[in-house]
Chains A and B, each alone.
Chain A
Amino acid sequence: MSDSITLLKEKAAAAITGALDADALRELEVAYLGKKGEVTALLKSLGQLAPEERKTMGKAVNDARAEIEKMIADRRERLEGEALDRDLAETGFDLTLPGIPLPAEAGRWHPISIIADRVERAFEQLGFLVLDYPEVETEHYNFDALNIPADHPARDMQDTFWLKNGCLLRTHTSPGQVRAMHEYPLPLRAIFPGRVFRYERTDASHEHTFHQVEGLMIDRDLSVSNLIAIMKVLLETIFEREVTVRLRPGFFPFVEPGFELDIRCMNCGGAGCSVCKHSGWVELLPCGLVHPNVLRAGGVDPEKWVGWAFGLGLSRLAMMRYKISHITHFMGADPRFLRQFPEGGAR
């Protein structure tokens, strides 16, 4: 009995695969599943069996029926697809026909690209390389090499998207620090902009995806004084006006000493307003001298070299520059938003 079921299935499979059009398939459907079809006949023949056997065989026949139904359905879909493809193929399409110029229209850079471009250009003029590093990172580059071992409370600050393969989405652009140290000779001056990810709910000012630019400089002799000067020059170039900055202690395991850099609120000039939460200052970026452990992770001898690094939020900067209220606009691909920033590429 079970042999005949297997045989029937095999026969049906061969016939279905061989059916070349919808009509042939419909005939097969009748031949196997119809009132006088072979499966139906098999079901009827169960009556001769003992009750025990009838039960198990009944199930087997019904399973076979379902399988054949599925084979027919799959084949039908496939034939329909092929028929569609054939229809599509018969249009006499000639890809060598000449292109048609699009009607003239104003194109636009994404506001993040505009800001990134300003930052990149400023740093290129200072002799920095502009590099680009992976967004899917390893735990090593994102945390361990940056002096953030497992169980370090600093990992809290950076709620992380983990991949099933053990990799993660970088939580900051800082993994580029160690990658750049491995790839380029010293002394090194580089920035690396890009997309970063934090595992958090989105609202007006929080996004799980945003943009940062990391800056790194390694030389024989660098100081906090140099860092303040570079940051001031950078911010004045971006904002095209004089800015007042201040440093205060900030804890980031990959720098020592580490700072938060604030700028005098540009909205109120320091008098206090809602933008600066009435403090007169706006927190802008973390920075500091590169921790010796991070230099070591990059194969750099901290006895001979010193580095500084910063991480600047490009999304944040774009929001400040254009007074954008909702960070989620950036990733929304809404032309009404994207058309509003005309100065892309302006020099």
Chain B
Amino acid sequence: MKVSWSWISRFAEVGDLDAVALSTRFTLGVAEIDEVLRVGVPDATLEGEARAAALSKVVIAKVIACRPHPQAEKLQLVTVDFGGPEPREIVSGAPNARTGLLSVFADEGAVIVGKDGAPAVLGEAVIRGVPSRGMLVSFAELGIGDDHAGVIEVPDAIAPGTPLAKAAPAFDDVIWDIDNKSLTHRPDCWGHVGLAREIAALCRRPFTWRAPEVTFPDVADVAVKNEAPDLCPRYSCFTMDGIAVGPSPLWMQILLWRLGQRPINNLVDFTNLAMLTVGNPLHAFDRRQIGGDTIVVRRAAPDEPFTTLDGRAHRLTADDLVIADARKPVALAGVMGGENSMVAADTTRIVLESANFHAGAIRRTAVRTQTRTDSSARFEKSLDPHQVWDASRFFADLVLTHIPGARVSSCFEDVFPAPPAPVVIRTTGAFVARRLGLDVTAEQVADVLGRLQFGVTTDGDDLTVTVPTFRATKDIGIPEDLVEEVGRWHGYDNIAPELPAVRLAKPFSLPVRTVSRRLREALSGELGFLEAMTYSFCRVEDLSACGLDPARHLALENPISAEEPVLRASMFPNLLAAVIRNERREPRQRMYELGRVYHGTQEGFPTQPRIAALVLSDRHADAADTTLFFQMKDAVLRALRTQERGAPGVERLPDPTPFSHPVRCARVTLGGAPVGWIAQVHPRTRRQLQLESPVVMACLELDVIAGLPKVVVPFEPLPRFPGMEHDLTVLVPRTVAAADVARALAGVAPEITREVTCFAVYESPKFPDRRSLSFRLHLAHKERTLTQEELVELHEKAVSTVQKTFDAQVAS
């Protein structure tokens, strides 16, 4: 919201303060200011006297004669009286320059906004052979709004030579742009009056605004029938006659431009200015368009058609509130007026609505009809219904002051059946001090609240606080709210930081976080993986390519794009997509993600298990080669060994995912419990995804791992006698599992065999149905050194065992 410092200064004695410096204080004490703009001289580097000099060159001027330019058809030679010793003839290209026009003249030395948007200092120019000093200017050339249409037309009588800064204080001004979000909870700050009140309190200056006195005759015109008092706590209106629609005075036009409102005509401008000043939106109806003599506030009929004044046609619902005459709605209450009741150029009689509406209802209607207006933005903040009366008088006074012959022609019709009861809060000085961690007494609290216009009575440390109506609608209702008032007024900078004193508690850490952390340390540590993150949404196309059914995924009501309408139930579609994006640049990828996947039907609360998803790719690998698979197996088993939950292992996987190779897959176990799987990407999936690289995936279920009992592997006593190693290479059919051979070898002489490991695998087209496996037997006896004879005996028994059991061939 834009705020004019000159306009604020009308309502509080703060005009002498530095508005730029004060903006920081305001940000720290009230709400965030996005931007502070010193306006009037487009060149921000000019300061002090230089700035004042440039400003003084912009004055009101009257055109007293015009004649054609001798060289150019579109230019005129215009004589202007700008209050100088004698009039001056200048060249002007403005289409609206004419004798008698009152406009604004920028003399030599003035700074205007040049054609390129940069500041330009005016000097003498020769235009098509005619020398010219100074120029008549448009609003845009003065840096006011974006109206380039012609030179300014001054509608009110101002003496030529009057500096514009004097005629229109908002010309030379400081504008604050306050972040609207930071005013969400401050319905009182949506107008200059409320802001002035806040600034006055902050600076300990008097707040001077009083609503103007207006006399309403005792004559009824339009009656009000409120059929929905729950949605409209207060509705008032009155009639004004003798209206002449025309331009607003110059100062007001400039002020409105500064506040981000384009001036339209006096009636529209007055309602806007009243809203921007008092904070309550108003609406002016053309009296001719109101059928009958009653305004009805009612819920819309279901499907009732209504066209707002921006030309959009709506179908309303019974949740929408309308303002209607005897036959038809004339406004969507609090949101926008109707096309059918707008004021027009020939309007002479108006009915002014000033009302208060239910915040939630206005918000619902504005959201549903997609009609967010300055009016709805204010009403949805819960405005003080008492503003209704102030805003009415402010508007009436503007009309009476600026439209000669206008008069108030009816009584103030006011339906306000249940004014809210005053909000009273009881608290103590000690409570406020304790919550802030600041030494404040009840008297100091009372002083701050008093400045902010709260009613306060103290009794020792006890405080009884009556909240002013403009803070009581939503903002302030409990003692904690008063803590904030005191804190922000004192400045949080004045609170000394102090760490809390606390009792020790038993240590606890979430098992699943320990699991994740250890996995991350292993994977991103010695195992050389990159930790990645991918989105929780996934593409239908990728799901289908993976053989997954999009319909079995949780669907979004409002997806960010139509291609990604569901939540991931597996991390692999997104990770594989990442592998594809990267594979040209990164032939070998080693990535993983720790995150949640989402399972659920369309009803009930979804389960969201935490998963580790690993991918290993090698673009140059042969898809038939199993190296990647066994590299992944090695990595996963190593990572799981850090978990202290028993020995990791692999076994046959009965139910691979649709995108997994049906054979090159394995279940991963930890302490015998299934905790995940490893699989090569199915060739069909690879083809459908257009994935060039063979990829092996691994999936570990972190919650399952976290649920397993902790197993600490006990120390193994060191052997007292030296051990021996014995290697054995066997050629077995490919259908024989290495683990079975190892187990058989271990069983040959279990009392002396400590461990059997397979340390080499060799396959060759020379023996296509067989595979060469090399085992190392770690042998030792508890009580003595092994003898060579024992070794020979063991070897022979081992050879015969594998020959018998596995049809193995053993090289001699």
Contact = CB atoms under 8 A, between A and B. Distances in A.
Interface in A276-297: 289, 291-292
A258 B484 contact: yes
B529 to A, nearest CB: 5
A229 B499 contact: yes
B interface SS class: mixed
A104 B635 CA distance: 11
A136 B554 contact: yes
Tier of interface size on chain B: 35 or more
A37 interface: no
Nearest to A339: B530
Contacts of B502: 127, 187, 189, 219
B556 A98 contact: no
B744 to A, nearest CB: 13
A169 B536 contact: yes
B493 to A, nearest CB: 6
A333 B585 contact: no
A233 B610 CA distance: 31
A208 B536 CA distance: 10
A257 B480 contact: yes
Nearest to A291: B480
A200 to B, nearest CB: 8
A108 B530 contact: yes
Nearest to A231: B497
A92 B771 contact: yes
Contacts of A153: 184, 359, 363, 380-381
Nearest to A159: B558
A219 B664 contact: no
A112 to B, nearest CB: 7
B492 A228 contact: yes
Contact of B498 (A102, A217, A226, A260): A226
A91 B601 CA distance: 39
A335 B586 contact: yes
Contact of A257 (B182, B484, B585, B757): B484
Interface string B733-761: 01111111000000000000000011101
Contacts of A257: 480-481, 483-484, 487-488
A107 to B, nearest CB: 4
Contact of B29 (A112, A161, A189, A248): A248
Interface string B489-503: 000110111111011
B637 A330 contact: no
B690 interface: no
B558 A199 contact: yes
A248 B521 CA distance: 39
A195 interface: yes
Given A96-B650, A163-B555, A331 B525 contact: no
Given A105-B590, A127-B502, A256-B478, A345 B662 contact: no
A95 B533 contact: no
Contact of B582 (A94, A98, A247, A335): A335
Interface in A133-184: 134-136, 138, 150-151, 153-154, 156-157, 161-165, 167, 169
Given A97-B758, A101-B634, A257-B480, A88 B661 contact: yes
Name the residue in B530, B604, B624, B635 with the highest tally of chain A Cβ atoms < 10 Å from its Cβ. B530
A38 B771 CA distance: 53
A228 B503 CA distance: 20
Interface in A191-205: 195, 197, 199, 201
B605 A167 contact: yes
Interface in A58-95: 81, 84-85, 88-89, 91-95
Contact of A102 (B436, B524, B634): B634
A112 B589 CA distance: 20
Interface string A213-224: 000010101111
B738 A98 contact: yes
A165 B601 contact: yes
Contacts of A138: 605
Contacts of B436: 223-225
Nearest to A280: B24
B799 to A, nearest CB: 21
A92 B761 CA distance: 13
B505 A127 contact: yes
A310 interface: no
Given A97-B630, A161-B558, A230-B500, A135 B530 contact: no
A107 B528 contact: yes
Name the residue in B496, B521, B637, B663 with the highest tally of chain A Cβ atoms < 10 Å from its Cβ. B663
Contacts of B327: none
A199 B605 CA distance: 21
B652 interface: yes
A18 to B, nearest CB: 23
Given A95-B666, A165-B602, A225-B496, A157 B181 contact: yes
B520 interface: yes
B510 interface: yes
A104 to B, nearest CB: 7
A230 B499 contact: yes
A338 interface: yes
Contacts of B480: 256-257, 289, 291-292
B586 to A, nearest CB: 5
A25 B527 CA distance: 50
B699 to A, nearest CB: 15
B416 interface: no
B184 A251 contact: yes
B513 to A, nearest CB: 6
A232 interface: yes
Name the residue in B184, B436, B578 with the highest tally of chain A Cβ atoms < 10 Å from its Cβ. B184
A20 B493 CA distance: 82
Contacts of B364: 151
Given A153-B184, A224-B435, A136 B608 contact: yes
Interface in A309-334: 330-334
A224 B487 contact: yes
Given A99-B631, A291-B480, A331-B534, A94 B771 contact: yes
Nearest to A259: B492
Contacts of B488: 248-249, 257
B606 interface: yes
Given A151-B360, A223-B436, A102 B527 contact: yes
Contacts of B535: 209, 331
B359 A151 contact: yes
Nearest to B649: A96
A301 interface: no
B62 interface: no
Contacts of A208: 560
Contact of A164 (B523, B555, B650, B757): B555
Contact of A161 (B556, B684, B761): B556
B761 A98 contact: yes
A134 B567 CA distance: 14
Contacts of B529: 107
Given A94-B738, A228-B492, A257-B484, A217 B536 contact: no
Contact of A132 (B184, B185, B483, B512): B512
Name the residue in A131, A260, A333 with the highest tally of chain B Cβ atoms < 10 Å from its Cβ. A333
Nearest to A137: B605
A322 to B, nearest CB: 15
B615 to A, nearest CB: 10
B601 A135 contact: no
Given A153-B380, A161-B558, A335-B585, 5 more contacts: A88-B683, A136-B608, A151-B360, A163-B555, A228-B495
12 contacts: A95-B650, A99-B634, A101-B631, A112-B533, A162-B556, A163-B557, A195-B595, A247-B492, A256-B480, A331-B534, A334-B582, A345-B520
Interface of A: 81, 84-85, 88-89, 91-110, 112-113, 124, 127, 129-132, 134-136, 138, 150-151, 153-154, 156-157, 161-165, 167, 169, 187, 189, 195, 197, 199, 201, 208-209, 217, 219, 221-226, 228-230, 232-233, 246-251, 253, 256-260, 289, 291-292, 306, 330-336, 338-339, 344-345
